Amino acid sequence: MAVPKKKTSKARRNKRRAQWKLEMPGITKCPQCGSIKLQHRACRKCGQYNKRQVLKASVSEKGR
């Protein structure tokens, strides 16, 4: 059975493991207010998710 001659350093090991983390998170526009939000999360500006009000709207949005 093959055995490594030298110990793999932490930096080299972590570089190899980090490859799957390079993708961008899913970012979309809110259908209600048009601001950018993460997918499958409530909008921070208008507080809506799946066409339902789930959070209080932010102060800046109420002033309009």
Q: Which residues share a beta bridge with 29?
A: 36
The tens digit of pLDDT for each residue in 5-44 reads 999 999 999 988 887 766 777 899 999 899 999 999 999 9
User: What token pair was written down for 34?
Assistant: 């048009």
- Per 3-state DSSP, what percentage of the chain is helix, strand, and coil (rounded to 5)? 25, 15, 60
User: Residue 40 gets which letter from DSSP?
Assistant: T
User: What token pair was written down for 56?
Assistant: 């209080």
d(CA 10, CA 39): 34
Q: What is the pLDDT of residue 60?
A: 57
Q: Check: pTM over 0.75? Answer yes or no.
A: no
